[in-house]
Amino acid sequence: MRYSNELKKKLKKEGIRTGDRIRVSYKQKKYDGILMPRTGTDEKDIIILKLDSGYNIGLELSGDFSIEKVDSRKEKKGHETIKSISIEKETEKDVAILIAGGTIASRVDYRTGAVKPSVDEEELVSFAPRIAGIANIEAKKIIETLSENVSPDDWVTIAKAVKKEIENGKDGVVVAHGTDTMGYTAAALSFVFEDLPIPVVLTGSQRSSDRGSSDSHQNLTCAVKAATTEVAEVMVCMHGERSDTFCYLHPGTKTRKMHTSRRDAFRTINADPYAKVHWEGLGVEMIRSDYRKKDKKRRVKIKEHFEENVEMVKIYPGMDPDIFKKQLEKTEGVIVEGTGLGHLPTNNKKIMEALKKYNEEENIAFMASQCLNGRVNMNIYETGIDLQSTGVIGNLNDMLPETAYVKLAWLLGNYNKEEAKDLMTENMRGEITERSSQTKL
């Protein structure tokens, strides 16, 4: 609470707490209502009152005013949820939902309107009552954070939790995650698991669950459905278009958030999604057939270390070579996010020298393109050829820069440098495609 001292004292003297019904008299006027928690602004003399009409107003209490308690806060059950609608089970499959934070796992505090990452297991299931008809659900909270705060350590926590569920014999695992960095986590999980035996589906929401229009229930329901399929891959399940019609199952190493707020923000880049899950009837429409088939008997193998000293550097006109140099310091590997086919200002001696030195010191530099769509090819222009002479490796093909960053960190965490260098340009988890057949940008 950030009230002024005077106001704080008065509230304390009257024994008034947030949620109490109070009467305020000032400027010859009287207002009755419930004291709401202070949010947002820095104004310290303003209290927020919820009037009987339901509206909140802010009143500036300084100078001459009085405030009295009319009634104590009514302790209500925190929140009511719609009970699961029991539907006859279509399968006897077991799906675990691991809650790793984000908007989908957030609840609006209806008093303050603030979104808090605090949903509990039961509540999450209640957001999407239909999932009870798809599988036996077991939900667990594993991390409580918004996705902008997710770190490589969290990837490891999630990976271990997923492993445990696989060992428990689940048919599929859903990970509820924030959308900002979901693409990174999906890539990380893709690399951690070798020969994944069952589907692992990440899902999230772009619109908070308090809204009637939230995308959370469709995404979660379709994700649970996806977890019961035969597609034993790490996938991202999010809205396919602005309508509430279907979700796409994007490949974990090929997906990226391409819009700040729209529900169809996630796109598969340089490949096709595995499938569509239709909202009505929950039919799964396969788009690809080149996926790993589910086999619960396959033993789960994980390599879960991520090297910390890996960087991602974006190239832009006018960049300061000294800062570029600084960014390379103390790292063992770097993903350079170049322009076009995989370029950077080769006429800048300082940058070229820095890269050369970097390679001579046995570090690894790879080139990805900030175009996102298309392949890196450093043989087309002379500048690209010059760049290769510094030791920058450009055959990452059509790998997304973010995926490349996660892969490099993972390789350096689990293999020696030579192996990492070789594996980096090899397709391990669908991160590199052989043919460019995608028709739509």
Partner 1 sequence: MNYKKLGFKCGIEVHQRLDTKKLFCNCSSSMQEEPEDEVVRKLRVVPGETGEMDPAALYEFLRDRKFIYKIYPSESCEVELDEEPPHQIREDALEISLQITKMLDCEVPDEIHPMRKTVIDGSNPSGFQRTMLVGMNGTLETSQGSVGIENVCLEEESAQILNREENTVIYGLNRLGIPLVEIGTAPDIKSPEHAKEVAKSLGNMLRATGKVQRGIGSIRQDVNVSIEGGSRIEVKGLQELDILEDTVRKEVERQKSLLGIKEKLNRRGASVPDDVFDVGQVFEGSDSKFYGKIMKDKDIKAFILKGFGGLLANKISGDKTFGKELSEYAEAHGLGGIIHTDEDIEKYDLLDEFGELKKKFDAGKDDVLVVAAGTKGLDEAIEAVKDRAKKAMEEIPEETRDSNDDGTTSYSRPLPGKARMYPETDVPAIRIGQKKLETIEIPESLEKKKKGLVEEGLSEHLAEEILDSRFYDLFRELRQSISMDLPTLANLLTIELKDLKKREGLDIEKIDSEKLTKIIKSIDEGKVPKDSFGKILEELLNKDKDLKDVLDKTEKIDDKSLAKIVKKVVDDKEELVGKDRAFKKLMGLVMQEVGGKAEGEKVSDILRKELDERK
Say whether residue 76 binds partner 1 (CB under 8 A). yes
Closer residue to partner 1 (CB): 12 or 79: 79
Say whether residue 283 binds partner 1 (CB under 8 A). no
Dihedral (CA of 203, 99, 295, 88) sign: negative
**Residue that the structure tokens 């239709």 belong to:** 278
Q: Check if 257 is active-site.
A: yes
Closer residue to partner 1 (CB): 109 or 308: 109
Say if residues 176 and 219 touch (Cβ distance below 8 Å). no
Q: How far apart are CA 437 and CA 374, in angstroms?
A: 10
Say if residues 182 and 146 touch (Cβ distance below 8 Å). no
Say if residues 300 and 163 touch (Cβ distance below 8 Å). yes
Tell which positions 288-347 bind partner 1, by CB under 8 A.
none
Helices (H), 193-253: 216-227
Say whether residue 56 binds partner 1 (CB under 8 A). yes
**Residue 262 CB, nearest approach to partner 1 (Å):** 4
- Count of CB atoms situated within 10 Å of the CB of 135: 24
Say whether residue 110 binds partner 1 (CB under 8 A). yes
**Residue 224 CB, nearest approach to partner 1 (Å):** 16
Q: Which stretches does DSSP call E strand in 221-295? A: 234-239, 246-251, 255-257, 266-268, 275-278, 284-286
**Residue 60 CB, nearest approach to partner 1 (Å):** 4
Q: What are the residues whose beta carbons fall under 8 Å from the beta carbon of 253, sequence distance 6 or more?
A: 186, 187, 190, 191, 234, 399, 400, 403, 407, 429, 430, 431
In terms of Cα–Cα distance, which of 102, 69, 113 is closest to 185?
102
Q: Check if 276 is active-site.
A: no
Q: How far apart are CA 389 and CA 47, in angstroms?
A: 66
DSSP 8-class letter at 196: -
Q: Exactly one of 103, 185, 203, 331 is catalytic; name it.
A: 103
Say whether residue 245 binds partner 1 (CB under 8 A). yes
Selected binder of partner 1 within 77, 297, 299, 440 (CB under 8 A) = 77
Say whether residue 81 binds partner 1 (CB under 8 A). yes
Q: How far apart are CA 45 and CA 22, in angstroms?
A: 16
Say whether residue 133 binds partner 1 (CB under 8 A). no
- Residue 43 C-beta-side C-alpha neighbours within 13 Å: 11
Tell which positions 22-51 bind partner 1, by CB under 8 A.
29, 39-41, 43, 46, 48, 51
Say whether residue 85 binds partner 1 (CB under 8 A). no
Closer residue to partner 1 (CB): 27 or 299: 27
**Residue 53 CB, nearest approach to partner 1 (Å):** 6
Say whether residue 54 binds partner 1 (CB under 8 A). yes
**Residue 372 CB, nearest approach to partner 1 (Å):** 21
Number of residues lying near partner 1 (CB under 8 A): 48
**Residue 21 CB, nearest approach to partner 1 (Å):** 13
Say whether residue 258 binds partner 1 (CB under 8 A). no
**Residue 127 CB, nearest approach to partner 1 (Å):** 8
Closer residue to partner 1 (CB): 56 or 84: 56
Q: Exactly one of 45, 180, 244, 386 is catalytic; name it.
A: 180
Say whether residue 55 binds partner 1 (CB under 8 A). yes
Residue 292 burial by Cβ neighbours in a 10 Å radius (0-12, 13-18, 19+): middle
Q: Check if 103 is active-site.
A: yes
Q: Exactly one of 141, 170, 257, 421 is catalytic; name it.
A: 257
Selected binder of partner 1 within 21, 170, 217, 254 (CB under 8 A) = 217
Say whether residue 58 binds partner 1 (CB under 8 A). yes
State the DSSP string of 37-106: PP-S---SSEEEEE-TTS-EEEEE--SSEEEEEEEPPP---S---PPPPP---S---EEEEEE--SGGG-
Say whether residue 57 binds partner 1 (CB under 8 A). yes
**Residue 20 CB, nearest approach to partner 1 (Å):** 15
Say whether residue 262 binds partner 1 (CB under 8 A). yes
Strand bridging mode 94-99 / 172-176: parallel
Six-digit token string for 50: 């919820």
Q: Which letter, b or e, does each residue of 306-321 get, where b requires 16 or more Cβ atoms within 10 Å of its Cβ?
A: bbeebbbbebeeebee
Selected binder of partner 1 within 14, 121, 230, 244 (CB under 8 A) = 244
Tell which positions 373-432 bind partner 1, by CB under 8 A.
none
Task: Enumerate the active-site residues.
Answer: 103, 179-180, 257
Q: Where along the sequence are the contacts to partner 1 (CB under 8 A)?
A: 29, 39-41, 43, 46, 48, 51, 53-60, 76-82, 108, 110-115, 207, 209-214, 217-218, 242-245, 260-263, 279
